[in-house]
Structures are given as structure tokens and as C-alpha cells.
Structure 1
């Protein structure tokens, strides 16, 4: 099994955090978004992962030079070969997959690194394909699928009238990666664009018309990491799931001086808390110091110093310093507010 992860977007909606790091490498509860994504997929697939191919954007558009090494480490952690490709120009979802054409063979999963999920189903690898979906209250904002007798019959983009409440979350399984590549090449060779781009939905429809049967893979939770507030909420959900699974995410060397940790929390190594209460639902990266503060429901990265604060629904980048009276803040790496 191969996993293809298109992640070339610059993540402009999550700025200032994505000015210094690609959105999929944003760390939530000790692991990057993309690492959690591929680990979750590996659990659902329940078979060895041969290769993980990442499609990133060019360094000139905000991807740090060490991005490739970070991604290769993620693949290695799952015992898989790592490959990194570059999409020089954003030309649509299908084009992003095409950039990894040298890795498109055999059974594969395509997972756009904009979302996380939690699921307890096991993928049927004998199906022609599968599409991960989540039941939503307002399907008009999503692409949805219609299902009959356990098989997807239609793909409908942002329906104005109700046809289904099963939203496509951006993760797909294809039994034959070579066939997927052929369909994408057909789009590109014939310049078949939609809104100026080559789209995966056109590939899905073409495969379906040729007789391919896609089944839905229903997930229990679908977590967005597109903007600051949804990302903080995703941190909250992940911490809750980790607690339910019985995982302890508080490092053993945390220094507590007249301080409390209200779990669930992720607290990294070499953290010092002085006259502080942290939690619930806080991720706090290593080498950080919190003094005279109360922090709840927040995502805080590494090497951060916070003093005299009352924070809720906040997101703070690496190497930041904060001493202020705002409650809900979003500041990027190396920012100082004192």
C-alpha cells in the first residue's frame, strides 16, 4: 500500500503560524498534523505501508529547506519508504496527485493534508475504491456522495438542495494507482479543467462511469486545521481522544512550583510551571516556561515563555514571548508581546 499526501498549499488562512512552517507540519499534542494523518490511515488500512509520497510546494513559496527531511522521518517512523515531490504551480487537486506520478502504482490512498479524522472501520482493500465521508448538518458547503446498497452512486459538489449529508473529507483509496494515473493524464493531455484547474472529482466520475465501484468509509470525527479557531478545537478533540485511549501525554520531568495541570493536556519535556494552572485541553511544547498564568483550551508550541496571562482559545508559535492581558490570541514564531 502507498499513501500519497498532497500538501503544497501555503496555508494562508492559518497565518501567522504558516509564515515559518507549512500547515501540515504544525504540531498538535506533540505530533505534526501530517504525521497524525498518515498514522491514522495506517491504522484503518491495517496492512504494511510500502511508501509515503509527499507533494510539497516550492521553497520560494514558504516551504523551509528542512521540510523534506522532516517528512522522510515521518515515513521512516512507519517503516515506509519516503518520497518528496514538488508542485511548482497550484493547478488543482488532480494535478497535485500527478506530481507524485512515479509513486502511483498498485493500491494507494490519497490524503490531502488539510484534515484529521478518527475512525473505527477497516478498509476493504478488495473494493475498486473508497471515499472517506462524514455525516454533516449542512451539506450545502461540501462535496457529498449518494449511496445505494453500500456503493457510491453520485458525487455532488455543494448541493443547493438536499441530496445527501455524507460529506467528502479529502481521503480516497484506489485499488489501482496506475489506472488513477491514466485518468489524470487524460485530463491533463486534453486540458479538461474545472474552474481553471484539474480536479480529482472529475477523475472519480470518469472511473465510476467506467464501472469502478466506490464504497464509503465513514469516520466518527472529522477535524479541520484550516484556521486558528478550528485548529485549537482540533487540539481539544485529539487530547480528549488520547485521554480516552489511556495515553499519558505529560512529560515526567515537568517542574511544578505551586502549579496545577488539569488533564487532558500535552506537556512536553523540560517545561516549568510557576504559580500557574494549565488545562484542560492545552498542548504545551518542550522547553517552555509559564508563570503567574491560567491557560485553558490552547495550542502552544516549543520554547515559549508566558507570564501574567489568562489565555483561552489561543494559539502561540515557537520561541514566542507573551506578557499581556488579551484572552484569545494568535501569534506566530519568534513573536514577542510584553
Structure 2
């Protein structure tokens, strides 16, 4: 089994945090989004992952590539790196990894996390993972027939078609079939909204008799912008805490401080006169002094002093003093 992860977009809505680190490597509950994604997919598949293919931007750099290879190798899988040099859509991104598009595979876009407890039907030609939503007009949705097979993909329907939204994760019994159809899309220059779309390849497969069925997830968590990323961090912390996972490192130095779980606190963090939690993630090497922090995400080696934070997101190596008189904040930052 392979996992194909298109992730070439930087994530402009999550700036300034994605100016130096691509969105899929932003940590959620102490682990990069893409790391959690591939682990959760492997858990649902319940079989060995042979290869994880990442489609990234050519400017992501050697450090990002090394981190991605480490994620795949930790699962006992081969890591393949491909590049998408232009933002030409989902179909184009997948075809950038065409050398890996053979055999059974899951394609998953690395800007979402999920929780699911279902058995994947590996006998189906393909599975599209969906989540029941309250406002289907904001999503692409699937329409089912009486056999619970997918008959249509409808993008942001103005009238009610279905409340099963496509979350961006697909299983193909033989992904080479999709590759062939997407090659036709590219050759025939079938463009929608200025991009080549995976849905055109899927529609061509359906027209040739391939059967698509839904795989329904219980939780779908977005990481599109700062607010929803902080919310997703809190939701993930609650899931992990409920599962009994150890989230607070033994190396945390605590002086006159209290922690209200769930929280993730990484290695060699120093807490002095601090109230932390609930729903807070603090990365390795951070120093938090004279502060109260809840519902927030702080990345590695940051220093926070004299702060009262709620719904905050602070980047790597940042320094924040709540009693500041002079500040230097990067592009797209928001102080509220």
C-alpha cells in the first residue's frame, strides 16, 4: 500500500507561520500535521505502508525533505519526494508523482486531520472519504444511489444534494487507473478554474464502470487558518488525552506553576509562575514565565513572558513579552 500526499502549497491563510515552514509541517499536539495524517491513514488501513510519496514545492528546502523522509521511514516505508513547480490544481499535483502511481494507494491532501473507526472496503474500485456536515453548500459533496455507491460529485451545491462532504482523502484499488485518466485530462487540457482537477479523472473512471463508495469519518479537523488550527490542536489534545497518551515530557521544569490538562508540553520546557491549559501545545525548548495561557499553540524554542493568551499561535524562536514597548512582528501577524 502507498500513501500519496500532495502538499506543495505553502498555506497563505496561515501566515506568518508558513512563511518559513510549509503548513503540513506545523505541529498539532506536538507532531506535524502530515505526520499525524499518514499515521491515522495507516491505522485505518491496518496494513503495512510500503511507500509514502510527498509532492512538495521546489523551494521547500533540504530540511523539509529530510523531515518528510524521517516521517516515512519511521513507519518502515520508502520516502519519495516529487516537486510541483506551479499551482495547477489537484490533478496536476497527483501527476507530479506519476512514477509512484501503481497498485493500491491512498491519496490524501495534507491540510486536514480526521478520526475514523471503519473498515476500509479494499475490494471496492475506489473509496472517497466523507463527513456528514450541517452546511453542505460550502463543500464538495457526494450523491449516493440505493446501493450506497457514489454516483455524482457536486461542488458547493446551491440546492440540497447530499450532506456528505468530501474531505480530501481517496483510496484506489489500482491508482494506475486514475493516472491514466488524469493523463488524458492533461493531454486534452481539461481545465476548471484555471486548474486540472482530480474530479475529472474520477468522473472518467465512473463513466467506464469503476465503482466508488463512501468511507465515513467521525471527525474532520481543518488546519486552514490560525483560528481553526488552534481549535484543531485543542480537539486533538482531547482525543489523545482520552486515549491515555502521555503528552507531557518528563524533562519539563516546573516552578510555581500549574497545568490544566489536556496539554502537550515538549522536551526541556521551562515553566515559571505560569498557568498552562487547557488545550495548549508547547514545543521543545520553550520558556514560559509569569504567564497564563489557554487554547493556544506555541512552537519550538519560543520565549513567552508576562502574557495572558487565549486562542494564540506563536512560531518557532519567537519572543513575546506582554509588557512590551517595542515590538518586531512579521508580515500577516494579528494582535487582538
TM-score bracket for this pair, using the shorter chain length: over 0.9
CA distance, structure 2, for counterparts of residue 291 and residue 34 of structure 1:
31
CA distance, structure 2, for counterparts of residue 40 and residue 150 of structure 1:
25
CA distance, structure 2, for counterparts of residue 205 and residue 171 of structure 1:
16
Partner of 1:74: 71
Aligned-pair CA distance for 1:325: 6.2
* Cα pair distance change 1:325/1:118, threshold 3 Å: farther
Q: How does 1:3-42 map to 2 (within 5 A)?
A: 3-42=3-42
SS of 2:224 mapped into structure 1: coil
> Where do 5+ consecutive residues of structure 1 fail to align?
none
> Where do 5+ consecutive residues of structure 2 fail to align?
none
Aligned-pair CA distance for 1:65: 2.8
Partner of 1:85: 82
- On the 8 A contact 1:310/1:325 being kept in 2, the answer is no
CA RMSD of aligned residues (A): 1.5
CA distance, structure 1, for counterparts of residue 180 and residue 202 of structure 2:
12
- On the 8 A contact 1:282/1:298 being kept in 2, the answer is yes
Normalising by the residue count of structure 1, what TM-score does the alignment of the two structures yield? 0.95
CA distance, structure 2, for counterparts of residue 313 and residue 196 of structure 1:
35
Runs of 4+ in 1 over 2 A off after TM superposition: none
Q: How does 1:302-313 map to 2 (within 5 A)?
A: 302-313=300-311
Matched, 1:179 2:174: no
Matched, 1:292 2:290: yes
Partner of 1:321: 319
CA distance, structure 1, for counterparts of residue 252 and residue 58 of structure 2:
38
Partner of 1:209: 207
Bigger shift: residues 148-157 or 174-183: 148-157
Partner of 1:121: 118
- On the 8 A contact 1:130/1:215 being kept in 2, the answer is yes
Normalising by the residue count of structure 2, what TM-score does the alignment of the two structures yield? 0.95
The alignment of Structure 1 onto Structure 2 pairs a total of residues equal to 328
